[in-house]
Structure 1
Amino acid sequence: MRVVLVLAMLGLLTACTNSDWRTASRESAGLALDPSIDTQASIEIYAADAFSWRGWFAVHTWLAIKKENEPEYTVYEVVGWAIKEGVPALREYQTATPDRFWYGAKPEKVLSIQGEKAAELIPRVTAAVNRYPWANEYTLFPGPNSNTFPAWVGLQVPELELDMPFRAIGSGYAD
């Protein structure tokens, strides 16, 4: 019986598909609108299994916005990998593919708002991002972490009607 239990545990520990971050997929999942074709404003929130074994329990979430006629999305996400070196946890970058795999894990849309409503909300979302109180902090549990960030933005802009995934551990830290 013990041998079966040990083998089962080893199987679980080696079952993670994203064990090497350097070679894990970061390609588009094909969920986002192509900004070169669809010019309308857009607000998107994505979730994907967290990296490595953490993905069994939790997701990583991030926010992408695109103003009308912009050629790329602005992506905001919180990661704690370089906090000790003085790099902020809240990162911002421009990309045409905000729906990239999270180091091998395919994302899902948590929120998607386009058109006039997105155009109206983007200035408020951006203002909330700029006020995020834990931009230089990251704690895996209970937070603040990658899930605290979009949850906090959602509280600041209730018109988003954001419903965070159950596995968004740390999203309750923002309450």
Structure 2
Amino acid sequence: MRDDVAPSWRAADWSSAKLLPAAAEAPQAIVAVYAARVGRWRGIFAHHTWVVVKEAGARTYTRYDKVGWGSPVRTNGWAPDGRWFGNAPHPVVVIEGPEAERVIPQVRQAVASYPYQTFGAYNAWPGPNSNTFVAHVMRSVPELAAPLPPTALGKDWQPWRDIVGLTPSRTGVQLSLGGYAGIAVGWIEGVEIDFMGLVAGLDLRRPAIKVPAWGRFGMDPITW
């Protein structure tokens, strides 16, 4: 659940949640995807997700977010493991060492190739939004196969020309009717039914149910 309810954007806590070591103290390469509840009443049923990378020996992290104001794909707008509107993030996937070093170029290429990163190319609902961006990166990098939270609204958004496609983990298929309705079946995602952004489903690999607006109840997904 949410850690606090900030009265405004400026009053919210955006500081590091201390999930990552200081870059200068971590010689290994790191790739991570984080998710945190969004601000105010929307945090009841929605998450914001982002991507973080650090090459081996680098003294700084690079964080990528898709936002609806300013430069749509924001680089280093916030601390790499920062709170989002006061809500501490949790890791969706974390890769370290040689494997992370191998996939970082793929991650950067996926960020650069995201097709909805011009000014105005953002739609909070049903998408494309911040979670559509992260799903694109994960779909482009097979090593990032992990389930995004069912409350990551927009993760399943696809343009009408791509009604049928792969799930973000690339371990299954999904049908998306412009983000207004759809169904996904995959080894990582399980079975998910999406209607107007609300997701219900079942995870058989890590037994859990997914309840619309509330999220996941059962075993935690594996964080690689």
What range describes the TM-score normalised by the shorter chain of this pair?
0.7 to 0.9
Aligned counterpart for 2:45 among listed residues 49, 54, 57: 57
1:115 deviation in Å? 0.4
Pairs within 5 Å for 1:74-153? 74-80=62-68, 82=69, 87-93=70-76, 97-136=79-118, 137-153=121-137
Aligned counterpart for 2:21 among listed residues 33, 53, 58: 33
Separation of aligned partners in 2, 1:126 and 1:43: 11
Tell me the SS of whatever aligns to 2:151: coil
For the pair shown, which has the larger CA radius of gyration, 1 or 2? 1
Separation of aligned partners in 1, 2:27 and 2:138: 24
1:19 deviation in Å? 2.5
Greater helix proportion: 1
Cα displacement string for residues 65-123 of structure 1 (whole angstroms, at most 9, x for unaligned residues): 0011111111000110x2xxxx331111277x411111211111111000000000000
Separation of aligned partners in 2, 1:129 and 1:144: 14
1:163 deviation in Å? 1.5
The alignment yields a C-alpha RMSD, in angstroms, of 1.5
Rate the CA distance shift 1:103–1:35 in 2: closer, same or farther, 3 A. Answer: same
1:30 deviation in Å? 1.1
Runs of 4+ residues deviating >6 angstroms: none
1:162 deviation in Å? 2.8
Tell me the SS of whatever aligns to 2:153: coil
- One-letter identity of the residue aligned with 1:107: P
Structure 2 length normalisation: TM-score? Answer: 0.66
Which position in structure 2 is the counterpart of 1:3? Answer: none
Contact 2:5 2:39 (C-alpha < 8 Å) held by counterparts = no
Unaligned runs of 5+ in 1: 1-15
Higher relative contact order (CA 8 A, sep 6+): 1
Separation of aligned partners in 2, 1:73 and 1:162: 21
Which position in structure 2 is the counterpart of 1:23? Answer: 11
Contact 2:125 2:153 (C-alpha < 8 Å) held by counterparts = yes
Cα displacement string for residues 111-147 of structure 1 (whole angstroms, at most 9, x for unaligned residues): 1000000000000110010000011211111101011
Separation of aligned partners in 2, 1:68 and 1:94: 22
Rate the CA distance shift 1:144–1:94 in 2: closer, same or farther, 3 A. Answer: closer
Separation of aligned partners in 1, 2:6 and 2:38: 9
Rate the CA distance shift 1:165–1:149 in 2: closer, same or farther, 3 A. Answer: same
Greater strand proportion: 2
Q: Provide the aligned length of Structure 1 versus Structure 2.
A: 154
Structure 1 length normalisation: TM-score? Answer: 0.83
**Identity over aligned pairs, percent:** 39
